[in-house]
A and B are shown apart, each in its own frame.
Chain A
Amino acid sequence: MIKLKLPLSKDAIKSLKAGDEVSLSGTIFTARDAAHQRLSELIKKGKRLPIDLAASCIYYAGPTPARPGMAIGSCGPTTSSRMDAFTPALIDRGLMGMIGKGGRSSDVRNAIKKHGAVYFLATGGVGALLAAKVKSSKVIAYADLGTEAIHRLVVEDFPVIVGIDPKGRDIYDKAKRKKA
């Protein structure tokens, strides 16, 4: 298990390989479909974004509300490919890490390779387990979107697997090759 601190630095992630198990500690932002659409509109209009993308890590997630006394509710990853169309523009603006589930488009893979970014996989459907790794959660933009708002999460030892490494190698290509 490789331990990484957030925000991610290019140096710290450059030797990661698709398939590596990593535990993440530090600050991440949640954003999914509706937030991506809004961020993309701001980028198109050349306006300022509500979060600083430089060296940031986005978690594709929409948590359940927190019970009193808990930091967050259930919070597993959602399908990453729905964000594919918006992602290269975010990577161009400094986004360094993404956490989600499932494969990505070749455009996303190329953007990851070009900028030395990284895509992590979290296990889908284990939101209660992953919630225990979240120490705090705060809505910082688009509160009107409810669960789809951008939350700032502080996580500790959040378990992920490298899905696409900074050289553009994809874990699912490996899985497919093994089968063949």
Chain B
Amino acid sequence: MRKIHVSKIKETVKKLCLKANFELRKDILCALRAAEKKEKSPRARTILKEIIENAELAKKKRVAICQDTGVVSVFLEIGRDAALTGGNLEKAINSGVAEAYKEGYLRKSVVGDPFLRKNTGTNTPSVINIDVVEGSRVRIAVSPKGFGSENKSRIKMFNPTAPIKEIKKFIIDTAVEAGPSACPPLVLGVGIGGTFDKAAHLAKKALLRPINKPNPNKRIKILEKDILKEINASGMGPMGLGGKTTILGVNMLEYPTHIAGLPVAVNISCHATRSAEAVL
């Protein structure tokens, strides 16, 4: 067994939260730069330039890319030969998040009871997902996601015999109907299969993958490409004010499912799609 102290996890979560909020992902930034060159509409170009300039400024000044620094989703892949020592893992993760949000001057957006709505003041608890995998390493990814886009996400339980074009339509409609307030150009995380909850989990997890890396399954890769093309053909454009760039990437993840169903979850994300990861 390889021993890893939970304090190491805490420090890593903290570092990743800061990085994700101050430094826009390279894949996203590259896609934005390429889109800016392709746009013909002056307004679309201006907005894309603002977004790129904002990313540069945020990194330089260590100011959050977006004021909605989100609820932090934390994804852990723990190798079965790794032993976590030194205390409570969940506590360690949440103290990493809390320290990052305090020291990084990040917004605390989490309310405790969803009905009483009192701010917890620490941006915790985070949403923690743990998978056990082969090996002795621990992979940690954090994704602070704003709710302007989160609010527009959808899930639908399709019939197993549903034609693929029906599924495509659902995904495309979800993106287009998300509209300007979801901060397009969007990034789409799509979860296909599993159960109701698994599909939603996959949709969120799909957003961690660089948008220039397609799904390894050829059939799904083609689907990702088609959907991207069709959403961009909508003409909605940056901030919904017209243009060719409505979406930067479509990332799908699939999982085996039941004979009676075909769950499809679409997690809408904005142009400030943020995440960072590290391996211990």
Q: Do A and B bind each other?
A: yes
Which of B86-94, B216-224, B233-241 sits within the interface?
B233-241
Option from A62, A80, A128 in Cβ contact (under 8 Å) with B65? A128
Q: Tell me how many residue pairs across A and B have CB atoms closer than 8 Å.
A: 132
Q: Is A66 in contact with chain B by the CB < 8 A criterion?
A: yes
Verify A79–B181 contact, CB threshold 8 A. Answer: yes
- The verdict on B63 contacting chain A, using a C-beta distance below 8 Å, is yes
Taking a contact as CB atoms under 8 Å apart, the answer to whether A67 and B62 are in contact is: yes
Size band of the interface chain A makes with B: 35 or more
B46 to chain A, nearest CB (A): 9
CB-defined contacts of B69 to chain A, threshold 8 Å: 64, 74
Chain B residues touching A, majority SS = loop
B242:A131 contact, CB within 8 angstroms = no
- Complex Cα spacing A86 to B121, Å: 26
Determine which of B57, B64, B240 lies in contact with A172 in the assembled complex, contact meaning CB atoms within 8 Å.
Answer: B240
Q: Is B108 in the interface zone, CB < 8 Å from A? A: yes
Determine whether the beta carbon of B107 is less than 8 Å from that of A129. Answer: no
Q: Which residues of A contact B231 (CB under 8 A)?
A: none
Decide if A123 is an interface residue (CB 8 Å cutoff): yes
B79 sits at the interface (CB 8 A): no
Asked if B67 and A76 make an inter-chain contact with CB atoms under 8 angstroms apart, the answer reads yes
Q: Which residue on chain A has the smallest CB distance to residue B41?
A: A178
Residues of A within 8 A of B50 (CB): 123, 126, 129
- Using known A-B contacts A64-B105, A74-B58, A125-B54, determine if residue A103 contacts B63 with beta carbons closer than 8 Å: no
Mask: chain B, 44-69; 1 = CB below 8 Å from A; 0 = not: 00010011011001100111111111
Interface residues on B, range: 35 or more
Q: Is A116 an interface residue (CB 8 A)?
A: no
Q: Are A64 and B151 in contact (CB under 8 A)?
A: no
Docked Cα-Cα span, A76 to B66, in Å, equals 7
A179: interface (CB < 8 Å): yes
Beyond A65-B107, A125-B51, 8 extra complex contacts between A and B, CB < 8 Å: A63-B67, A66-B105, A67-B62, A76-B66, A123-B51, A126-B50, A127-B64, A161-B241
Instruction: Jot down 27 A-B pairs with beta carbons below 8 A, ordered by A.
Output: A62-B67, A62-B107, A66-B105, A73-B105, A74-B64, A74-B65, A74-B67, A74-B69, A79-B151, A79-B181, A101-B180, A101-B239, A103-B179, A123-B47, A124-B66, A124-B181, A124-B270, A125-B51, A125-B146, A126-B53, A127-B54, A128-B54, A128-B58, A132-B57, A146-B119, A175-B236, A178-B235
Binding site for A on B (CB under 8 A): 47, 50-51, 53-54, 57-58, 61-69, 105-109, 117, 119, 121, 146, 148, 151, 179-181, 183, 234-237, 239-242, 270-272
